[in-house]
Amino acid sequence: MEEMQMKKYPANSAGAKMTARVPTVGPDDTIADVRKMLYEKASAFATLSYIYVLDKEGHLLGLFPIREVFRAPDNIKAGEIMNPYMIKARPYTDQEEVALLAIKYNLKSIPVVDKNNKFLGVVRSHTIMNILNTEHIEDLLKSAGIHGIAEKTLNASASKMINARLSWLIIGLIGGVIAAQITQFFETPLKQYFVLAAFIPLMAYMADAIGTQTQTLFVRDLAMRKLDLKKYLLREIKVGLGIATILGLLLYIIGIFWSHIYYIALILGFSMFLTGFVAIFVPIVIILILDRMGLDPAIGSGPFATIVQDVITLALYFLIAVVMLGIFAPK
Amino acid sequence: MEEMQMKKYPANSAGAKMTARVPTVGPDDTIADVRKMLYEKASAFATLSYIYVLDKEGHLLGLFPIREVFRAPDNIKAGEIMNPYMIKARPYTDQEEVALLAIKYNLKSIPVVDKNNKFLGVVRSHTIMNILNTEHIEDLLKSAGIHGIAEKTLNASASKMINARLSWLIIGLIGGVIAAQITQFFETPLKQYFVLAAFIPLMAYMADAIGTQTQTLFVRDLAMRKLDLKKYLLREIKVGLGIATILGLLLYIIGIFWSHIYYIALILGFSMFLTGFVAIFVPIVIILILDRMGLDPAIGSGPFATIVQDVITLALYFLIAVVMLGIFAPK
């Protein structure tokens, strides 16, 4: 029966990860009946943490922990002792959501029911541990732009590793060529004020660093599914303004000491402020688009967001430079 | 008793996360005795998944699952039915290692013993789930350079968020200034061959991307504690050579089409090759140093490695450019 379920549901769903080999009883069964059943069938069960109470049609009514089998009086009925308030998953619920339910509600295992509340099985504690571990590894790998390598990276051959790592790197190369094109376009002002070219790595790095922070927090918060987007964005705007203002001021001061030209310092400081502020929203927009398209936000969150960030940062930086030079620089 | 243990051991150790409220029996107790004990004391236990078998001095001899209480014959002794081969942790074992033991050996909970094999308690399944979840979040935040914010990031105030994010960003700013200094030092050749300046973001980005991939894999592999470093480095050398060669060739071809100057293409291609190859080892060296110093490798793996990577990459790139221009460029 388990085998069949494995085939019916998608690989990372509760349905694929559940087992039906758990003790189930009727609401009118007494604790003495439950004990008798356990003595007869204990070998058949994959886990004994909870006893599940089902009605005749197989609807899930409640559950009670194995402890009650030892503690409760002989003649009490399962329907009386059970806890009817349960956290449940559907077979198509994503495995990570199941695991987070267990964490959030302090549960060992999560029952799975169909849309009519018919009991299908249980995602048990060890499976939940494995899900948490796998999702952890996958998140880390995805955010680093490594694909097609599962858990056992340690034993993967060199050529397999190259394969898994190369696809995002080549996309990165294309992004870098676009960045080069943009830089080349501003050759004249950058040659004239070479200090601006010297600060290219700083601008790119800072925007990436800010963006990586945002996307890490946002992917996580989004996975928790309890996000009030308006409130969230409002706080991010405050955070972005705070960070961008502090960094912009610092770079303005550094620029003054570095170049002794106030409008160069102004270009550096204002560019840091604006690209830093924009850097907060680039990953949020990318992740929201991926999420709406039904794709895993973690896929695009790593290297892809960085490339987009780099291109936007450089374009903004050079545009600010050209405009400000046009206003402030002596003709 | 649990309270006292919590105080005795460091916060993220097995000792701080264990409970002593589990059923324990002697090796000569029969299954009938075990049942009697469970009927009497079931309420006192935090978890009933396993029954632990201790000798008179409290040394851990073995364990058996609750299932045996229902399945085994009345007169069989705990010492006969128990599994004496157990995975155990010490009270000072890091909580993440405990969780990974449970995953690796397919266990619900992990017993904790002192150096004389005296039974101290059990890290139970729900605690292991919480550890896995917490470590996941912490790893993500650390690798993004976010500090001092725990799980509930969602509700942190804007000023608290700015605080948590700013420290690494300011270190990044300092790194960027060093990068600017290096770039400024090579002003003359970069102005003369501006195409080389245009490719600065590409060089920096690619080295960072390769390094991020390596450090993500390496931190993870290191946490699994089953690393044959020599074998690992040998494979990384192969992987590095493979990736660096492919990317170097691609950038050489792009350089030909871009500049139509063979030695510019050669500088771009060879710099990509060398910085890409070096990029594999920068995070490995940083992480090994942090690990040897007893620091959590994840701390420095994110933004810090990127800054070091950027500075090394630019220095190498410009040096290669100067040397190759000296050899190939018409005087």
- Name which of B21, B31, B35, B67 to mutate to probe chain A: the one with the most chain A Cβ atoms within 10 A of its Cβ: B67
Instruction: Give the model's confidence band at B4: pLDDT under 50 very low, under 70 low, under 90 confident, else very high.
Output: very low
Instruction: Give the model's confidence band at A148: pLDDT under 50 very low, under 70 low, under 90 confident, else very high.
Output: low
Chain B nearest-CA residue for A67: B42
Nearest CB to B158 within list A170, A220, A235: A235
A64-73, A232-241, A299-308: range with lowest mean pLDDT? A299-308
Interface contact A38-B70, CB threshold 8 A? yes
Nearest residue to A135 (alpha-carbon basis) of A211, A212, A219, A210: A219
Question: Looking up tokens 């060890």, which residue turns up?
Answer: A126
Distance (Å) from the alpha carbon of B293 to chain A's nearest alpha carbon: 24
Is the pLDDT assigned to residue A114 strictly greater than 70? yes
Is the pLDDT assigned to residue B30 strictly greater than 90? yes
Average of per-residue pLDDT across B41-53:
92
Using a CB-CB distance cutoff of 8 angstroms, which residues of chain B are in contact with residue A217?
A: 141, 144, 146, 153
Interface contact A70-B154, CB threshold 8 A? no
CATH of domain B170-328: 1.10.357.20
Chain A nearest-CA residue for B130: A103
Question: Looking up tokens 């090579």, which residue turns up?
Answer: B186
**A120 vs B142, more confident:** A120
**Cα-Cα-Cα-Cα dihedral sign, residues A29, A30, A35, A39:** negative
Nearest CB to B48 within list A66, A103, A235: A66
DSSP label at B199?
T
Would you state the pLDDT for residue B227? 65
Would you give the distance in Å from CA B320 to the centre of its chain?
Answer: 34
Nearest CB to A209 within list B158, B235, B303: B303
Is the pLDDT assigned to residue B96 strictly greater than 90? no
Q: Are the C-beta atoms of A243 and A210 separated by less than 8 Å?
A: yes
| Residue A143, token pair as written in the block | 């955010």
Using a CB-CB distance cutoff of 8 angstroms, which residues of chain B are in contact with residue A107?
A: 126
Question: Looking up tokens 């070479």, which residue turns up?
Answer: A194
Average of per-residue pLDDT across B276-284:
91
Mean pLDDT of chain A: 87
CA A25 → CA A52, A77, B49, B67, distances in Å? 6, 10, 20, 17
Q: Are the C-beta atoms of A104 and A225 separated by less than 8 Å?
A: no
- Name which of B33, B122, B199, B200 to mutate to probe chain A: the one with the most chain A Cβ atoms within 10 A of its Cβ: B200
Nearest CB to A179 within list B132, B201, B210: B201
Using a CB-CB distance cutoff of 8 angstroms, which residues of chain A are in contact with residue B99?
A: 129, 133
A-B CB pairs within 8 A amount to 297
Distance (Å) from the alpha carbon of A294 to chain B's nearest alpha carbon: 22
Using a CB-CB distance cutoff of 8 angstroms, which residues of chain A are in contact with residue B310?
A: 201, 205
**B154 vs B28, more confident:** B28
Instruction: Give the rounded percent of residues in chain B with a pLDDT score beyond 90.
Output: 56
d(CA B78, CA B306): 56
**B295 vs B116, more confident:** B116
Interface contact B242-A158, CB threshold 8 A? yes
Using a CB-CB distance cutoff of 8 angstroms, which residues of chain A are in contact with residue B148?
A: none
Distance (Å) from the alpha carbon of A57 to chain B's nearest alpha carbon: 27
Would you state the pLDDT for residue A301? 59
Average of per-residue pLDDT across A130-158:
72
Burial A226-242 (b: 16+ CB within 10 A, else e): eeeeeebeebbeebbbb
Instruction: Give the rounded percent of residues in chain A with a pLDDT score beyond 70.
Output: 90
CA B55 → CA A14, B122, B172, B326, distances in Å? 42, 17, 57, 79
Average of per-residue pLDDT across B240-245:
94
**Cα-Cα-Cα-Cα dihedral sign, residues B257, B263, B264, B266:** positive
* Number of C-beta neighbours around residue A313 at 10 A: 29
Would you state the pLDDT for residue B2? 46
Distance (Å) from the alpha carbon of A245 to chain B's nearest alpha carbon: 11
Would you state the pLDDT for residue A296? 65
A225 torsion bin: left (phi>0), alpha (psi -120 to 50), beta (else): left
d(CA A49, CA A31): 15
d(CA B163, CA B149): 9
Q: A253 in helix, strand or coil?
A: helix
Interface contact B165-A239, CB threshold 8 A? yes
Question: SS3 sequence, A168-213?
Answer: HHHHHHHHHHHHHHHHHHCHHHHHHCHHHHHCHHHHHHHHHHHHHH
Would you state the pLDDT for residue A4? 47
Nearest CB to A209 within list B125, B169, B246: B169
Nearest residue to B272 (alpha-carbon basis) of B203, B195, B189, B324: B203
**Surface-to-core class of residue A255, CB atoms within 10 Å of its CB (0-12 exposed, 13-18 middle, 19+ buried):** buried
B268 torsion bin: left (phi>0), alpha (psi -120 to 50), beta (else): alpha
Would you state the pLDDT for residue B152? 56
CA A144 → CA A304, B214, B218, distances in Å? 10, 9, 12
Roughly how many angstroms between the first and final C-alpha of chain B, as a whole number?
A: 82
Q: A103 in helix, strand or coil?
A: helix
Interface contact A158-B205, CB threshold 8 A? no
Distance (Å) from the alpha carbon of B226 to chain A's nearest alpha carbon: 9
Residue B291, H or E segment: helix B262-292
Q: A62 in helix, strand or coil?
A: strand
Average of per-residue pLDDT across A233-246:
91
**Surface-to-core class of residue A55, CB atoms within 10 Å of its CB (0-12 exposed, 13-18 middle, 19+ buried):** middle
- Residue at B111: amino acid letter: P
Q: Are the C-beta atoms of A298 and A143 separated by less than 8 Å?
A: yes
State the complex-level ipTM.
0.75
Nearest CB to B247 within list A173, A179, A183: A173
Question: What are the domain boundaries of chain A?
Answer: 2-134, 179-328
What is the layout of strands, in order, in the sheet containing B60-65?
B24-25, B50-54, B60-65
Interface contact A169-B217, CB threshold 8 A? no
pLDDT tens digits along B247-277: 999 999 999 999 999 999 999 999 999 999 9
Distance (Å) from the alpha carbon of A178 to chain B's nearest alpha carbon: 9
Interface contact B180-A190, CB threshold 8 A? no
Average of per-residue pLDDT across B205-234:
78
Q: Are the C-beta atoms of B244 and A166 separated by less than 8 Å?
A: no
Mean pLDDT of chain B: 87
Using a CB-CB distance cutoff of 8 angstroms, which residues of chain A are in contact with residue B175?
A: 202, 205
Asked whether the domain spanning A179-328 has the same topology as the one spanning A2-134, the reply is no
pLDDT tens digits along A187-207: 999 999 999 999 999 999 999
Would you state the pLDDT for residue A291? 76
Average of per-residue pLDDT across B176-199:
94
Is the pLDDT assigned to residue B67 strictly greater than 60? yes
Instruction: Give the model's confidence band at A248: pLDDT under 50 very low, under 70 low, under 90 confident, else very high.
Output: very high
- Name which of A71, A128, A131, A169 to mutate to probe chain B: the one with the most chain B Cβ atoms within 10 A of its Cβ: A169
Q: In B75-199, which residue ranges form alpha helices assigned H by DSSP? A: 78-81, 95-104, 125-143, 158-185, 187-192, 194-198
Fold (CATH) for A179-328: Tetracycline Repressor; domain 2 (1.10.357)
Question: Looking up tokens 């706080």, which residue turns up?
Answer: A235
Query: Which class is B2-134 in CATH?
Result: alpha beta
Q: How many residues does chain A have?
A: 331
Interface contact A198-B184, CB threshold 8 A? yes
d(CA A29, CA A78): 6
| Residue B193, token pair as written in the block | 């061959």
Using a CB-CB distance cutoff of 8 angstroms, which residues of chain A are in contact with residue B130?
A: 103
Is the pLDDT assigned to residue B149 strictly greater than 60? no
Is the pLDDT assigned to residue A295 strictly greater than 80? no
Interface contact B125-A129, CB threshold 8 A? yes
**B165 vs B73, more confident:** B73
Interface contact A153-B221, CB threshold 8 A? yes
